Structure 1
C-alpha cells in the first residue's frame, strides 16, 4: 500500500534545543521532552536551535522576559534591562531563510524567545497581561513560514493535537518532495486526490472548497495555483478531526467494500464504527479492520489515500484517538 511517508529522506524538524536535553537554558538546565528525544527522534532529523545562545547570551545568563504591548512586546533582561528584541527577531529571519526545507518546528512553550502563544508579557506595574503574547524569535520565524506546521512541546502531550501536528508534518514533507520532483497541474490534482479523505476528516467544508478551487486549475499557472492550494490545505488540516468526522469518513470507506463483504462482516464493521463514535474504542480499532478488508479486496483509489496511514504506524498515534 502506498503511504504518504514513502519519502526520499526523513522529514527535518526545527526544535528548541532544550527539548532534546541540551543544557542551554538561562540557568544552565534543559527541558528535555522524552516524546521528542526518544520517540520522535526515531522518525525525524531534528535541527536543534537555541536563539538566546545563538545571539551571544551565555550559559548561565540573565533571564529575559517580554514587556510592553502584547502585540509587539520587547524582550529585556530581568535585572539589567538589556533589550534583545532586534537580535532575536533578526536571528528568526535568518533561520527562516536557512531552514526552508524543514517540514515542521517544535517550540519551547512559555519561552520569551520561542513560545508560540500565552507567553507572559509584563506591564509597568509588574503584572503580566491577560492572554500573553508570542516569543520574539518564534514570531519572526513563523511570519516567514506561514504554511509550516508548528507546535509547542506541552501541547504535544495531548494525543489529538499530537496526531494532528504530525499528520500536517508528513503532508508538508510530501508536498516538498513533490515540488522537488517538479510541480505540475496533474501533480497538484494527484496530491489532492490522495488527501481527499484526510481533508474530509479534518475540515469537511474546506474539503469541498478546495475541490472547487481545483475545478478551475487549468486557468491558472501552476506556480500560482499550487502555493494557493497548499496554503488552504494546511489551514484545513490544522483543524482537528473529531469522532464524528472520522466516523463519517469510515462510513465512506465502507462503501468501497459493500460488494465484497458478507452481511456479518458489514455488521461487525458498523458495530466498531459506532463504538468508536461513542468513545468506547479508539480509532485504531475500526481502522485496523477496514485495512484488513482492503488487503483482501484491494482498491487502487483507496490504496493511495493518505487517510489510511498519514504517519508511520510505529508512532501509534491513533491508538489514543
Structure 2
C-alpha cells in the first residue's frame, strides 16, 4: 500500500469541470463521470477546471473549434462566427492555471473538446472542411508548460491497460513530488530510482538502462539539471503502457531475488504463474500477489521496497483486468 493510502490522504488531480457534473458545456450541459466521482474521488482530491469558462466564454455560448492547416498551430475560433478568436485568451488562462497548480499529480480530460481533448480533436481547414486532428488548446499548453504531468481522457479510462497506466503515473509522480522535489538532493534522486527500478523496467527497459547509466555520475551535474532530466525521461517512459512481455521480464527479475530463499517447488510454482500470465491465461494480479507473498517473508529490503509490486491501492483492482 502506498504511503498516502496508508494515511488515508487523497492525491490532488485536476479534472475537466464538466466531468464532475458542473453545467459548464457550451449548451449548459455536463458529462458527469461516475467512475471519477464514485471510484477515483475516494483516492484523488479532484480539482475541476474549465478553460473555456476561465477564458470568459459564458454558458451557454457559441461552440468553438480548432481551425488551421497541417503545418501550423490551430487557432480556436467560433463555429458560427469565425471572427470570435479565443486562441490567446485560452493560452493565457492555461499558463495561469499551470502557474497556480504545480501541486497537481495528474489531469483527467474531456474527450473531443477543442480545449481539453487529449488527441484526435478535429481541426478544420479555413474553408470549413475537416482537415486533420490535434490536441485541444489547453492540453497543448499543459504539455508545453507542465510536460511531466500525467494526462488522460476520461473516456480512455474504460480501457483497463490505459486506466492502470494513468493511475500508476499519478502515484509515481506523487512519490517524486513528496520525496524528491520537496527535499531535493542527489540522495533523494538515487533513492527514488532505487525503489522505482522495476516499475521503470516494466514500462521501458531501454530507459531503465539509460537512467541507470545517467545516475552513475549524476553528482557531477547541477542538481536541478539532473532532477529535470531524470523526471522528464522517467515520466515519458511510464507513459508507454507496459506489455505482457515487459511485465514478464520485470516479474522474472523480481523472482531472481527469491531464488536462494525459497525451495525448488515454490520456485517452480512462481515460474508457472509468471508463464501463465505471459501466455494470457491469467491476469497480472496472480503472479504479483504470489511474488509479493514470498517477497514479504524472504525478500531483502531492496526488493520489498520496489513500487512495482504495489504501485497503487490494491483495492482499486487495476491489475485484476490486465
Structure 1 residue 290: Cα displacement: 0.9
Pair 1:316–1:213, CA change in 2 (3 A): same
Structure 1 residue 4: Cα displacement: 8.0
1:170-319 to structure 2, matched below 5 A, reads 170-319=171-320
Between the aligned partners of 1:2 and 1:153, the Cα distance in structure 2 is 23
State the TM-score, normalizing by the size of structure 2.
Answer: 0.94
Matched, 1:18 2:29: no
Higher relative contact order (CA 8 A, sep 6+): 1
Between the aligned partners of 1:4 and 1:52, the Cα distance in structure 2 is 33
Matched, 1:103 2:93: no
Between the aligned partners of 1:6 and 1:230, the Cα distance in structure 2 is 25
SS at match of 1:195: helix
Between the aligned partners of 1:3 and 1:193, the Cα distance in structure 2 is 17
Between the aligned partners of 1:140 and 1:8, the Cα distance in structure 2 is 32
1:73-152 to structure 2, matched below 5 A, reads 73-81=74-82, 82-130=84-132, 132-152=133-153
SS at match of 1:146: coil
SS at match of 1:301: helix
Between the aligned partners of 2:225 and 2:115, the Cα distance in structure 1 is 34
Task: Identify which range, 43-52 or 78-87, moves more after superposition.
Answer: 78-87
Structure 1 residue 296: Cα displacement: 2.5
Aligned to 2:161: 160
1:279-298 CA-to-partner distances (Å, cap 9, x unmatched) read 11000011111111123224
Between the aligned partners of 1:66 and 1:317, the Cα distance in structure 2 is 35
Between the aligned partners of 2:5 and 2:199, the Cα distance in structure 1 is 14
Pair 1:188–1:179, CA change in 2 (3 A): closer
CA contact (8 A) 1:7 1:174 kept: no
Between the aligned partners of 2:102 and 2:167, the Cα distance in structure 1 is 18
Structure 1 residue 10: Cα displacement: 2.6
Structure 1 residue 73: Cα displacement: 1.2
Between the aligned partners of 1:122 and 1:286, the Cα distance in structure 2 is 48
Structure 1 residue 316: Cα displacement: 1.0
**Unpaired segments of 5 or more residues in structure 2?**
none
Pair 1:97–1:58, CA change in 2 (3 A): same
Between the aligned partners of 1:221 and 1:213, the Cα distance in structure 2 is 13
Pair 1:4–1:260, CA change in 2 (3 A): farther
Between the aligned partners of 1:292 and 1:156, the Cα distance in structure 2 is 29
Between the aligned partners of 2:193 and 2:286, the Cα distance in structure 1 is 26
CA contact (8 A) 2:196 2:308 kept: yes
Pair 1:301–1:290, CA change in 2 (3 A): same
Q: Give the root-mean-square deviation of aligned CA atoms.
A: 1.8
Structure 1 residue 7: Cα displacement: 7.5
Structure 1 residue 259: Cα displacement: 2.2
Between the aligned partners of 1:313 and 1:46, the Cα distance in structure 2 is 20
Aligned residue pair count: 320
1:105-146 CA-to-partner distances (Å, cap 9, x unmatched) read 11111101111211111113422113x112112212321001
**Unpaired segments of 5 or more residues in structure 1?**
none
Structure 1 residue 251: Cα displacement: 1.1
Aligned to 2:44: 44
SS at match of 2:90: helix
Task: Identify which range, 22-31 or 191-200, moves more after superposition.
Answer: 22-31
Between the aligned partners of 2:121 and 2:211, the Cα distance in structure 1 is 34
